Structures are given as C-alpha cells and as structure tokens.
C-alpha cells in the first residue's frame, strides 16, 4: 500500500455556509501549502464525508465519495494523516496526503509533452453521449 497518494477535492463550486468562496480560496493556494482533513459524521448528505480546509481555515471542498470512507476511517482510528495542496484542477483540486504521519511531498512534474490528468480526462469525455466520467487521480 502506498504511503503517499493524491486525492481529488470535490464540491469546490459550492459556496461555504459563511458565504466564503471555495474557488477563490483554492486559487490563493500554492503547491505545498498545508491542508486539514476533518471528518463530518453529522453531514446529512454523507455521514462518511471528510471536509477539506486550507491552512487559513477556509473550506475548499470534500474528499471524493470513493475515498472519504477509507480516509475518514483512518482519521477516526487515530492515524496521523497529513496533507498538502498539490494543484488546482478546472473545478476543484488535488491534494497530496501521507498516510503514516510523514510530511507529504509533491510528485515530480511531468516532462514537456506529457499530458496532464485534466487533458487525459478531457480526451475521455464524449459530449454527445451525455456521460461525463469522474476523474480519479492515480495512486503512486
């Protein structure tokens, strides 16, 4: 099992309850900035939800449904999971987490000419079908 992995942050297009703008806060972050992960067991939509906050304390979204149960379970069991901002995406972000309490490190940049995940995702979308697959970042 990898000790570090990249996770997708979703829900950045929605405003926070206090009126703050999640996308604005995302655009203010730099790669390597600290991120907090907070389970939300009282969340009515998903009791396994894990909220994602910037180091300034603004919510920027949630972990994707595919990962929130597993990561939230580790946090509730007392695992020291640390996270940093990796990069913004067109409607959210990727964060980098270390599962064993270590300091997360950013993955190496892609060499020129190699497609990013967003570009690969865009190629997989068929607008005529009406189906838009969820982007799932690769594990290391």
Q: What is the pLDDT of residues 22-58, one digit of tens each?
A: 999 999 999 999 999 999 999 999 999 999 999 999 9
Could you give the CA distance from residue 68 to residue 17 in angstroms, rounded to a whole number?
Answer: 21
Could you give the CA distance from residue 103 to residue 133 in angstroms, rounded to a whole number?
Answer: 31
pLDDT, residue 112, reads 65
Answer for the pair 49, 62: CB distance below 8 angstroms, yes or no: yes
37-38-44 Cα angle (round to 5): 130
User: Given 3-state DSSP classes, what are the helix, strand and coil percentages for the chain, each rounded to the nearest 5?
Assistant: 20, 30, 50
pLDDT in tens, 70-126: 999 999 999 999 999 999 988 899 999 999 888 999 987 766 665 555 555 555 555
pLDDT, residue 111, reads 62
pLDDT, residue 108, reads 79
CATH topology of domain 4-106: Alpha-Beta Plaits (3.30.70)
By residue count, the chain amounts to: 140
State yes or no: pLDDT of 134 exceeds 70. Answer: no
pTM over 0.85: no
């Amino acid at each position: 099992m990898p000790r570090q992995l990249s996770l997708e942050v979703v829900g950045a297009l929605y405003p926070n309850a206090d009126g703050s703008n999640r996308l604005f806060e995302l655009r203010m972050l730099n790669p390597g900035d600290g991120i907090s992960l907070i389970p939300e067991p009282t969340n009515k939509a998903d009791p396994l939800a894990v909220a994602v906050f910037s180091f300034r304390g603004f919510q920027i979204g949630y972990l994707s449904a595919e990962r929130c149960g597993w990561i939230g379970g580790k946090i509730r069991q007392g695992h020291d999971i640390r996270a940093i901002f990796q990069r913004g995406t067109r409607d959210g972000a990727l964060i980098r987490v270390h599962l064993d309490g270590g300091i997360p490190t950013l993955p190496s940049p892609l060499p020129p000419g190699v497609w990013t995940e967003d570009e690969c995702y865009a190629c997989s979308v068929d607008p005529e079908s009406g189906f838009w697959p969820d982007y799932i970042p690769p594990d290391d």
